[in-house]
Structure 1
Amino acid sequence: MPNLKNTPHFQALIMLFIAMISMQSSGSLAKILFNQFPILTVSVMRLLLGSIILALIFKIWRVDFKAINWKSVASYGIALAGMNALFYMSIARLPLGIAVSFEFIGPLSVALFHARQKFDFIWVGLAILGLILLFPFDQAAQNLDPIGIAFALGAGACWAMYIISGQKPTGISGNHTVCLGMFIGMLCLMPIAIFTGMPLAVFEPSNLIYFITLAILASALPFSLEMIALRSLTPLVFGTLTSLEPAIAALSGFVFLGEQLLWTQWLALSVIIVASIGCTMTTNRAKKYLSDE
């Protein structure tokens, strides 16, 4: 009888779960850092240190810079900058799980736009129902910040742009595109962060260690693990499992920040996850059907 724990598929699943936990835990760490540093400063430091770490991991110096499609890389980096900054501004005003749920509408919309199956209207309806359930209509004390919601939806729109621009040919590998995109995104946000008051204290060793940890949790570790996991997982399995991120974010907010959600909001997260899983499955089925024709 084969040992399931030693199979590449099982190991890839574990790596993917660790990557998702790492990514969503980084949101909790970012919220803690907001108490001491401006939001844009945290965003810039995450992108700066993340790009440096990834540059070392993926050996950016081996890239043929003359072959790079800088227009595609720049659009990717701008989308990444907007996604990162707006998401951080949203979680400063909203519970982590709620912000991720609103943000998740971005990639879900992209998937539904390209899907053409008869079940698509069901997933659209579930996504809309999930968004409605996120609002605590019967709990005035739990009202959601409308500006935070706007930031989260803006982050979702940038996430959609990130997916679309990431599919354009850049002349280099996906790993190097992410690395250069993060650096360009940092360059976009840095002037704004400096203008709004970026303290030099961020470069003090006692503070820098927190930003390095944030960069590892939010970029280096999840990107590296996802790259390995994708070698053994189908797009269907990968997309289905990553649909669990709103729930993981909510759990991270509960464990590390003490954020509590209403039962209707937990139900909303579940509905959005079901919509995302369903969309992933029907989209994958449509692609398989077209490839078989």
Structure 2
Amino acid sequence: MAPSQIAHDIEPIPVATRRRPGRSGAMSHTSMGLIIAIVSCAAFGTSGSFAKALLGSGWTPVTAVAARISIAALALAIPTAMALRGRWHVLRDNIKPIVLYGIFGVAGCQLFYFNAVTHVSVGVALLIEYLAPMLLVGWAWARYGRTPRRLTIAGTAAAIVGLLFVLDVFNGFSVDPIGIAWALGAALCLTVYFVIAGDEESELPPIALAGGGMSVGAVILLAMCALGVQPVSVSTADVTFAGSQMPFWVPVLGLALIAAALAYATGIYAARALGTTVASFISLLEVLFAVAFAWMFVGEAPTLVQVVGGVFIVGGVVLVRLDESRHAESFGPVVAAEHDAEIERWLDDVRPTRDEECVTR
């Protein structure tokens, strides 16, 4: 899909005219959001396989991520400018969430993940990263004293059991602890990504948030390369991918255009179209796509024990999300808002103060 077409397709819906459940046309809007969410999951799922090919040929994590995000930022520059034409003030007013999205959702999340896959398999790294909802539950409990309900506790327990299986602790903890630490860092950054991407009140077009975040992330990563914060190495040698040798720029462009530009732009649109809870449910498909792609392209077949652990982790996240959804439906918007108060307070700090001009446009 051409960048200009992406910009046209995911133009934001004004607040005053957004579809609500029960109104004419709501089904088509939701269906489109679901399709785009699945596309985003598949695109994100390719990143681990592309990264493994580069890392195995002499690239270091920071250089691979810097190349990925920098090229993606260039690819999104024109559609971002088109989406913001005539209203550049929106970009200025949303500078704080863009910067935070670039630091955590783009640079941080990918750098931690790429470092993780140098020590553990793609599937293990991604399963640990997707413990993000559990981390959010624990943070809300510690920070605001909100005791988790029984279904959330059951989901968290299932995810912890699954993590034990994925790490294979029953056979002497065979997974590299350094890789686990990097993957947990990616999980923390993923939590921030979901919070910012799912802000339905934002005037910022999804493509502009993706493009702006990519630009911020690129600056940070290129600065890290220049300063030598992490080992810097690139290679122009052919890489092994999908059982054959191919030029190094093939996985580089795959990382940048498929696993970054397309994945992030469609992911933001899906989070706004479906809501943060539903979008995070669908995002679990990324784990399945990533494991399947890693198996096909780089020969990383998960063990039976890790498959069982993956089922427990995904099941645990589903239970937590079901609990959130049930809570919101049973007690209405007032209690639902209180349930997610910690997220709203965080968003209030990064969301700009503005009038209701978006409603009257």
Query: TM range, normalised to the smaller chain?
Result: 0.7 to 0.9
Pick closer, same or farther for the CA change 1:183–1:154 going to 2, 3 Å: same
Residue range with higher mean Cα deviation, 82-91 or 153-162? 153-162
Question: Shift of the alpha carbon at 1:54?
Answer: 2.1
Shift of 1:229: 5.0
1:108-145 residue CA offsets vs partner (Å, 9 max, x unmatched): 422675685431111111111111111224556x8211
Matched with 1:222 is 263
Structure 2 distance, partners of 1:242, 1:65, is 28
Indicate the residue corresponding to 1:162 in structure 2.
193
Give me the CA root mean square deviation. 3.2
The alignment status of 1:32 with 2:73, answered yes or no, reads no
The number of residue pairs the alignment matches comes to: 284
Residues 127, 231 of structure 1: alpha-carbon distance in 2 compared, 3 angstrom cutoff: closer
Structure 2 CA distance for partners of 1:107 and 1:23, relative to 1, 3 Å: same
CA drift at 1:262: 1.9
Name the amino acid aligned to 1:291.
P
* Contact 1:247–1:269 (Cα < 8 Å) also in 2: no
Secondary structure of the 2:282 match is helix
Q: Distance in 2 between matches of 1:254 and 1:209?
A: 19
Superposition pairs of residues 31-50 of structure 1, within 5 angstroms: 31-36=52-57, 37-50=59-72
Query: What is the TM-score normalised by the length of structure 1?
Result: 0.82
Identity of aligned residues (%): 22
Q: 1:177-211: CA deviations, max 9, x gaps?
A: 22211211121121222334355969xxx644542
1:171 Cα shift? 6.3
Q: Secondary structure at the residue paired with 1:187?
A: helix
1:249 to partner: Cα distance = 1.9
Describe the SS at the equivalent of 1:18: helix
AA aligned to 2:332 is L
Other-structure match for 1:3: none
Q: Kindly report which structure 2 residues correspond to 1:118-267, keeping only aligned pairs within 5 A, or say none.
A: 118-137=150-169, 139=171, 143-166=174-197, 172-194=204-226, 195=228, 196-199=231-234, 207-226=248-267, 233=274, 237-267=278-308
Query: What residue identity is the alignment partner of 2:232?
Result: G
Q: Which residue of 1 aligns with 2:11?
A: none
Q: 2:324 aligns to what?
A: 283
Residues in 1 aligned to 2:196 and 2:277: alpha-carbon distance in whole angstroms = 21
**Does the C-alpha gap of structure 1 residues 44 and 239 become closer, same or farther in structure 2, counting only changes over 3 Å?**
same
Give the distance between the partners of 1:167 and 1:188, measured in 2 at CA.
23
Return the letter of the residue paired with 1:274: G
Q: Is 2:43 the partner of 1:22?
A: yes
| Residue 74 (structure 1) aligned with residue 95 (structure 2) | no
Letter in 1 for 2:73: S
Q: Assess if the C-alpha contact under 8 Å between 1:44 and 1:186 holds in 2.
A: yes
Residues of 2 paired with 1:170 and 1:9: CA distance? 19
Question: CA separation in 1, counterparts of 2:233 and 2:129?
Answer: 26
C-alpha distance in 1, partners of 2:213/2:34?
27
Flag structure 2 segments of 5+ consecutive residues without an equivalent. 1-27, 141-145, 238-246, 336-361
Secondary structure at 2:302 match in 1: coil
2:299 maps to a residue whose letter is: G
Label 1:68 to 1:161 Cα distance change in 2 as closer, same or farther (>3 A). same
Give the structure with higher Rg (CA). 2
Which is further off, 212-221 or 231-240?
231-240
Post-superposition shift, 1:8? 6.8
1:90 and 2:91 correspond? no
Residue 227 of structure 1 deviates from its aligned partner by 5.4
More helix by share: 1
Kindly provide the CA deviation profile for residues 214-257 of structure 1, in whole angstroms up to 9, marking residues without a partner as x. 11221222234445656875655433222233233222221111
CA shift for structure 1 position 14:
4.3
